[in-house]
Structure formats: C-alpha cells, structure tokens
C-alpha cells in the first residue's frame, strides 16, 4: 500500500453535514484539506422530508444533501475529496495522523472525525438472512418497494415514526411495534399517523423472529407481560431501534463512551491532541443535522487553533 508524500493540515473523515461543514470552515482558513467520505451527504440523503434545517422551510434529504455537496465543491481548489472508506487511523512517528483507506495511507497533522452512526440490528433469527429481501433499515430508501403490502416498523422513536409516516401512504397496512407502553417519538410526528385507518400500534412487545422463504413472509413477536408469542403476516420489516457510532477505525486511538461514541468536548476536542470529532459519531445527545453541522464548524476551528499553536 502506498503512503502519500503529501502532508495535509486537516483530514476530515465523513461526507455528512458535520464533515461537509468542517470542510467548508477549514477551506476558509486556507488549510490543506482532504475529506474522505463514503456516502456524499451522509444520513441526510436518507432523511425523507426535512422541516428543521433553518432557511429552507420544507425540503427533502436528497435536495439538502446535494446542496451540502455542491457547497463543499465550491472549495475543491483547497479540499481534496476522496469518496473512500477509512479503515484505521493511527498516530504516526512524527506526531502526524495516518489514515488507511482502500489503497493508500493518507497523512495529516490534524483530524476531524465525523463518521456518523449506522443502524442497530435486532439480532433475531431471519434478520440477516432476509436483509434486502424484505428487511430494511431505511424507509426513505425502500418504502416505495412495499406498495399495497403489509409491513412492520420496529421501534417508536423519531426514525420509526418517520418510517410509519412514509409507509402509511404506500403500504396496505403498517404495524408499529414498540417495546414500551408509550412512543418516545416527537408528538408532532405521532399525530401524523395516530388514528390512521391502516396503522396499528402494538405496545409492550419485542420481536423474536423474522420469517420467510425467498422473501419475508412474517414476523414473530412476544408480548412482554404475558410472554405470549404472536405472528404477523408482513412482507416488509423496517428496523428502527437506534444507531451505533461508526467509531471502529479509531477505537484504539481515542476515548469512547460505553456506547462506542467518541468522547468530545463542545469544541470537538477529544482526549488526543489534534484529533477532533463532530456529529453523530460523538457522545452528543441530539442526532440532528443542524447540531452535526454546528459541531463540524467548531471541530474545524479547533483544528485550525491546534495547527496555529503547533506552529509557534
Ligand atoms: C431516517 C432519518 C431521518 C432523519 N430526519 C432528520 C430530520 O428531519 N432533521 C434532522 O435534523 N435530522 C434528521 N436525521 C438525523 C440526521 O440525518 C443526522 O443527525 C445527521 O446526518 C448526522 O450528520 P453526521 O455528519 O454526523 O453523520 P452522517 O450524516 O451519518 O454522515 C457520516 C458520513 O461518514 C461517512 N463514513 C462513515 N464511516 C466512514 C469511514 N470509516 N470512512 C469514511 N467515511 C465514513 C458516511 O459515508 C457519511 O458520509 C434523520 C436521520 C435518519 C436516519
């Protein structure tokens, strides 16, 4: 594997709102920047309708993601964009960071790590076997495939609620299964589907199996109080039970919390000098676009301050 001779000032990992904002801020500081990110726009692209990004009123994930990417590309004279996955980041011998991507090692004096989160799995029989054969983790991507079918949405948080809102206009029947006796989703979302003819909310249950032959044909759940097992005939299962930080490439480098999120202060500084983190991969409370973008700006400014101090 080749090691790049070029030494960047800042390497940004992540092409979502946190990484893109960090890129824009670092470029405006005239730093030499590389941005490595697998999925342009990040989770924004999967976000469906977006009504809480200031200045846009109502927009949708694809449109906003394209705007983010377009804005970053205004700086492509100073920001090298590489649509690649980073598998590991270590500290090099001369205090710089080494980022291993598909076929090269990239060197940078500082890092803004903004790799987001990925969906948590149910961990039940049938889940892996029927992934993309009826099991989905992204309603925005897959809801249109379930026209006139019966589907189950697992998890009653905001992401689950948004899945129900999308699916109720496409699927014949939508079951929403939740483990507790109230839905934690924002009331403004729940009122969109509560009482809808084709939506049934099933409380206090946990999913124990996904059944199928070539494709999903059903779901088995257990009533928590009675222990009774019941089966739903569904052709789709949308899993929305939280997310796991994409911190694997840095797990031996920086301090993580018990959920695997990178611990960072409000300026994005981690326990490693010169290594900043931002957005959903960190131990923030609110996984939101505007929060991730704000953190991305702070982290890039922290990287700039770190580099300025290092030069004195
Ligand atoms: C269905 C859904 C609906 C949502 N709706 C809203 C909403 O209406 N309003 C709102 O404010 N928020 C919403 N969110 C949350 C919002 O999308 C996230 O909070 C936000 O995108 C987080 O930004 P981020 O930059 O931290 O991470 P992400 O957007 O997750 O971006 C992470 C980036 O890192 C890249 N990456 C990951 N690992 C690596 C690696 N090893 N190497 C290189 N690149 C890597 C990814 O490809 C991606 O480009 C929604 C989320 C979902 C899932």
Q: What is the pLDDT of residues 282-311, one digit of tens each?
A: 999 888 999 999 999 999 999 999 999 988
pLDDT band at 216 (very low <50, low <70, confident <90, very high): very high
pLDDT at residue number 91: 95
What angle is formed at CA 187 by the lines to CA 198 and CA 42, rounded to 5 degrees?
85
Q: φ, ψ for residue 254 (rounded to 5)?
A: -120, 165
Q: Which of 41, 101, 289, 300 to probe ligand 1 with, by most ligand atoms within 8 A of CB?
A: 289
Answer whether 281's CB lies under 8 Å from 114's CB.
Answer: yes
pLDDT at residue number 94: 84
pLDDT in tens, 81-95: 999 999 999 998 888
pLDDT at residue number 5: 74
pLDDT at 4 over 70: no
DSSP for 62-122, please give it. HHHHHHHHHHHHTTTTTEEEE-----EEEE-TTS-EEEE-SSEEEEEEEEEE---EEEPP-
- How far, in Å, is the centroid of ligand 1 from the Cα of 91? 26
Choosing from 49, 76, 141, 186, the catalytic residue is 141
pLDDT at 1 over 80: no
Query: Is 56 a known active-site residue?
Result: no
Distance from C-alpha of 191 to C-alpha of 198, rounded to nearest angstrom: 14
Delineate the domains of the chain, giving CATH numbers in brackets.
Answer: 2-118+243-311 (3.50.50.60), 121-239 (3.50.50.60)
Mean pLDDT for the stretch of residues 49-65? 92
CA 222, distance to chain mean position in Å, is 29
Q: Are strands 135-136 and 236-239 parallel, antiparallel or unpaired?
A: parallel
pLDDT at residue number 107: 96
Percent share of the chain, pLDDT over 70: 99
- How far, in Å, is the centroid of ligand 1 from the Cα of 249? 17
Burial category of 154 from C-beta neighbours within 10 Å (exposed 0-12, middle 13-18, buried 19 and up): buried
Query: Is 186 a known active-site residue?
Result: no
Ligand 1 residue neighbourhood (C-beta within 6 Å): 13-19, 36-39, 42-44, 46-48, 50, 52, 85-86, 114-117, 140, 159, 162, 246, 249, 279-280, 287-290, 292
| Range of lowest pLDDT (3-7, 72-76, 114-118, 280-284) | 3-7
Distance from C-alpha of 260 to C-alpha of 232, rounded to nearest angstrom: 34
pLDDT at 137 over 70: yes
pLDDT at residue number 308: 95
List the one residue out of 310, 301, 286 whose CA is nearest residue 112: 301
pLDDT at residue number 141: 80
pLDDT at residue number 103: 81
pLDDT at residue number 48: 79
pLDDT band at 49 (very low <50, low <70, confident <90, very high): confident
pLDDT at residue number 2: 67
pLDDT in tens, 236-293: 999 999 999 999 999 999 999 999 999 999 999 999 999 999 999 999 988 899 999 9
Percent share of the chain, pLDDT over 90: 88
CA distance between the termini of the chain: 34
Distance from C-alpha of 62 to C-alpha of 244, rounded to nearest angstrom: 23
């Amino acid at each position: 594997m080749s090691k790049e001779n070029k030494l960047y000032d800042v390497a940004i990992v992540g092409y979502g709102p946190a990484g893109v904002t960090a890129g824009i801020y670092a470029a405006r500081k005239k730093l030499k920047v590389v941005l490595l990110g697998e999925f342009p726009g990040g989770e924004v692209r999967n976000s469906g309708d977006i009504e809480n990004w200031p200045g846009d009123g109502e927009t949708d994930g694809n449109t906003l993601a394209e705007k983010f990417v377009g804005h970053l590309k205004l700086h492509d004279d100073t920001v090298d964009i590489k649509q690649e996955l980073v598998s590991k980041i270590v500290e090099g011998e001369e205090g710089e960071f080494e980022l291993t991507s598909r076929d090269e090692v990239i060197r940078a004096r500082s890092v803004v790590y903004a790799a987001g989160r990925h969906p948590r799995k149910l961990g039940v029989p049938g889940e892996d076997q029927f992934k993309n054969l009826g099991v989905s983790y992204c309603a925005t991507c897959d809801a249109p495939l379930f026209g006139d079918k019966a589907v189950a949405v697992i998890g009653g948080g905001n992401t689950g609620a948004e899945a129900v809102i999308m699916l109720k206009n496409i699927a014949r029947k939508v079951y929403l299964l939740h483990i507790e006796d109230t839905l934690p989703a924002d009331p403004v979302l729940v009122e969109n589907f509560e009482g809808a003819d084709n939506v049934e909310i099933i409380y206090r249950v946990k999913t124990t199996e996904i059944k199928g032959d070539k494709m999903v044909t059903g779901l088995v759940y257990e009533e928590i109080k009675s222990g009774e097992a019941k089966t739903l005939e569904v052709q789709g299962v949308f899993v929305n039970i939280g997310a796991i930080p994409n911190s694997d490439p840095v797990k031996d480098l920086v301090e993580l919390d018990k959920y695997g999120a990178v611990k960072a202060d409000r300026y994005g500084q981690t326990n490693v000098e010169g290594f900043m983190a931002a957005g959903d991969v960190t131990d923030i409370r609110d996984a939101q676009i505007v929060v991730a973008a704000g953190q991305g700006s702070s982290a890039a400014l922290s990287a700039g301050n770190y580099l300025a101090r290092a030069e004195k």
